[in-house]
Structure 1
Amino acid sequence: MRRGEAGVNPLAALGRGLRGLRWYVRALAGETRWDDYLAHCAEHGHQPVSRREFEQCRADARASSPQSRCC
């Protein structure tokens, strides 16, 4: 593979960019909260609930304390 002008492998740069984009989209969608929850449970020795229960709890919390919205 040819190197760019700065000596950077274009495929490696593309891979880094795609990983960054994946991280950003996951953060916007709230996916990282599940990862944070699993890390918290592992750190404190708790048994995590299922992904479905976790998402239901998040949905219930959003419904019970609505923040100001346009609609």
Structure 2
Amino acid sequence: MTAGRPGVLAGVRWYLRELSGEAKWDAYLERCERDGTEPMSRRAFERHRDEHRERSTQGRCC
């Protein structure tokens, strides 16, 4: 009966990482490693992401 539980927990973990933005940070680090570039700090990454989100407000109603 617990055979399905690891899959469920992995799904919940994936969902929470996507929701929190943790997956975007990991993807950014992988892209920098692949391209051979120095990644910005986590703080700078989050600031950049927030600024981009503020400039791209077409999805909002107000």
- The range that moved more, 17-26 or 32-41, is 17-26
Greater C-alpha Rg: 1
TM-score by length of 1: 0.73
In the other structure, the counterpart of 1:7 is none
Task: Show structure 1 runs of 5+ residues with no match.
Answer: 5-9
Shift of 1:51: 0.6
> Counterpart of 1:69 in 2: which secondary structure?
coil
Residues 8-51 of structure 1 show CA distances to partners (whole Å, capped at 9, x for unaligned) of xx1x4322211111101211232211011000000011111111
What is the aligned-residue identity percentage? 47
Task: Show structure 2 runs of 5+ residues with no match.
Answer: none
In the other structure, the counterpart of 1:65 is 56
Superposed CA RMSD in Å reads 1.5
Structure number having the greater helix percentage: 2
Higher relative contact order (CA 8 A, sep 6+): 2
> How many residues are treated as equivalent by the alignment?
62
Alpha-carbon separation, structure 2, partners of 1:13 and 1:65: 40
In the other structure, the counterpart of 2:25 is 34
TM-score by length of 2: 0.82
